[in-house]
Structure 1
Amino acid sequence: MSAVVRTVGGDVPADRLGVVDAHDHLFIRSPLLPGQELDDAEDAAARLAAFRELGGGTVVQWTPYGMGRRADLLAALSRRSGVRIVAATGLHQAVHYSPELLGSVRDSLAELFVREITEGVAGAGGVRAGLIKVAGGFHGLDAHARLTMRAAAEAHHRTGAAIAVHLELGTGALDVLDLLCGETGVAPDRVILGHLNRSPDSAVHRQAAAEGAYLGFDGPSRANHATDWRMPEAMRALADAGFGDRLLLGGDTVTPDTPGMPYLLRRVRPRLALELGEELVERVLVGNPAGAFALRT
């Protein structure tokens, strides 16, 4: 049986995703970003339409449980735009939630993640998640990160869904792999490390790639990150070292002023093609996501 990816419209063959925005947000809200919520369905539809017009095929939304992911709207938006959407379960850093919400789910995280992957997100009309999103801290893992990552590992072993990890400012990648792969037995190629362009440490990138993890380069970065200009060079170094099959690319729209998914194909893709060549960019946008997001037990 061929590998499949769980989208909001059902399971599809992994090799039919087309061009993939491997890390983005159609909807997201957080108390850390007051007044900057992504919560407008028509704006989401417009961004999907623009992405489709530029050749996009699939968007992977990393917005996890409790952060305004609007799972009830995703299937209709996918049908309307013709863009496949992968939804996430999981949990972000503790600072993104109220103590009451965390207390209500803390003791049943693995069950929550499994249920949203296998049965569906509550109130979303049968939409099922196809990805588990968790988060590390700045250069380390706190107790909350360890709790959520262990729950994610259990859910992964029970469902085959990949685990996507927010790395705070791109740091802590090796700590994440030590926990997920060393302690809980998750295969490294079922882990997707996000935001590595925010910490362009080539030694850490090579170590993570050598272990077998997927490396997410996403953005364009917001102005305070100021690392966009280093991304092509970092990706070229990894490709030259033999890790071109580990690379993923995403737009990571987190606030209304983020250029986002259309910009990914309109500006970032041709810029990377000049540095990496069209063949490698095609692999990053089409071939690699098919392996990274497939359900595998």
Structure 2
Amino acid sequence: MVNATVRSVQGDLDPGQLGVVDSHDHLFFRSPLLPGQELDDVDLARRELESYAAVGGGTVVQWTPYGLGRRAAELPALAATTGVRIVAATGLHQAAHYTPESLARRADDLAEVFVRELTEGIAGSGVRAGLIKVAGGFHALDTHARWTMRAAAEAHHATGAPIAVHHELGTGALDVLDLLCGELEVPAHRVILGHLNRSPDVVAHREAARSGAYLAFDGPSRANHATDWRMPDAMAALAAGGYADRLLLGGDTTSAGARSVSGGPGMPYLLRRVRPRLEESLGEEGVRRVLVANPARAFAVEWA
């Protein structure tokens, strides 16, 4: 028998308690690749969550990994104040998001860091991470990506936590599956492939879904607006092919200007505007599956 729980920042939850889920977003995020656009204001994070809750949002899965300003210690109070459940991440992003010195400090113990943050908690916060975030490159997996994914697989096997993957411009999903699910023997249903709307390749999407992995479609965003409009058709094609139970939806707010409280679309847009549009393609029940039933399974920590 497999047991499953979702590890929120306030403690473990029955997966059925999540409600409507934003499956990929950021309350806090700081990277040298986005100077001046840091997400680091606690009050703005609270207001964004309140706006999301006001349109029916129940849970946010924050994919911000190690070393990028997660502010994990702030998350339990934000969840308590707003009523929105939050899941935090461990893991490591692409090398470009870090200094060489910070990466060097992690060289020998990366899997150990992931396991510790999943089981004991993120240092200085008391918050246990609920997923492992890693990243590939553009149509390729470089040495850094393979290193982080090996550590993620080791941590998954030790803890049962799911692995969420950033795909640069939506590419490289099949290479990731070959590594994680082939060579490293991570069950495909424990892998969440992010940003697939950014490369609307229906053939690649179908092959990825056939593996049993979850496919996360994240938007809208200024940087990826050229492909965001194709998202409903891409998701409808997968649903029609029998893969409706593999689909997830997220907002992926990574810059200060993208927040709704700062004039951008933000988290509420996912439910105010994206959901009605998807209902035209998937139907109300199909969208309910994407927002409620699928993430309850995808983000569960499993153990025997």
Are 1:123 and 2:129 matched, yes or no?
A: no
Matches within 5 A, 1:23-42: 23-42=24-43
Deviations 1:79-128 (A, max 9, x none): 0000000000000000000111000012100000000000000011x110
TM-score (norm 2): 0.96
Instruction: Return the letter of the residue paired with 1:117.
Output: L
Q: Distance in 1 between matches of 2:112 and 2:279?
A: 42
**What amino acid is the match of 1:199?**
S
Q: Where do 5+ consecutive residues of structure 1 fail to align? A: none
Aligned to 1:172: 172
Question: How far off its partner does 1:140 sit?
Answer: 0.7
RMSD between aligned residues: 0.9
Q: Read off the aligned partner of 2:156 and give its amino acid letter.
A: H
How do 1:201-280 residues align onto structure 2 when only pairs under 5 Å count? 201-258=201-258, 259-280=265-286
CA contact (8 A) 1:132 1:162 kept: yes
Matches of 1:215 and 1:6 in 2, distance apart?
A: 20
The partner residue of 2:298 within 289, 292, 297 is: 292
Unaligned runs of 5+ in 2: 259-264
Rounded Cα–Cα distance in structure 1 between residues aligned with 2:224 and 2:111: 34
Tell me how far 1:2 sits from its aligned partner: 5.1
The structure-2 alpha-carbon separation of the partners of 1:118 and 1:260, relative to structure 1 and needing over 3 Å to count, comes to same
- Counterparts of 1:196 and 1:264 in 2: how far apart (Å)? 16
Which letter does structure 2 place at the counterpart of 1:285?
Answer: L
Cα distance in 1 between the residues matched to 2:230 and 2:80: 36
Distance 1:203 1:33, change over 3 A: same
Task: Please say if residues 221 and 227 of structure 1, whose CA atoms lie closer than 8 Å, have aligned partners that are also in contact.
Answer: no
Task: Report the CA distance between 1:3 and its aligned residue.
Answer: 2.0
Q: Determine if contact 1:198/1:221 at 8 Å carries over to the other structure.
A: no
- What whole-Å deviation, never above 9, does each CA across 1:4-62 have from its counterpart, x for those lacking one? 10000000001110000000000001001100101110110001001111111100000
Give 1:224 shift: 4.7
Contact preservation (8 Å) 1:248, 1:288: yes
Alpha-carbon distance, 1:225 to partner: 4.5
How many percent identity over aligned positions?
72
Alignment of 1:97-108 (within 5 A): 97-108=98-109
**1:174-195 deviation per Cα after TM superposition (whole angstroms, max 9, x unaligned):** 0000000001000000000000
Listed one character per residue, the Cα deviations across residues 219-277 of structure 1 (whole Å, up to 9, x for unaligned) are 10324541111000000000000000000000100012222211111111111111211
2:73 aligned with 1:72, yes or no? yes
Instruction: Provide the TM-score with structure 1 as the length reference.
Output: 0.98
Alpha-carbon distance in structure 2 between the residues aligned to 1:64 and 1:106: 16
Aligned 8 A contact 1:2 1:13 in 2: no
Q: Distance in 1 between matches of 2:116 and 2:225?
A: 36
Cα distance in structure 1, aligned partners of 2:228 and 2:184: 34
Cα contact 1:273–1:281 (8 A) shared by 2:
yes
Q: How many positions carry a matched residue from both structures?
A: 296
SS class of match (1:6): strand
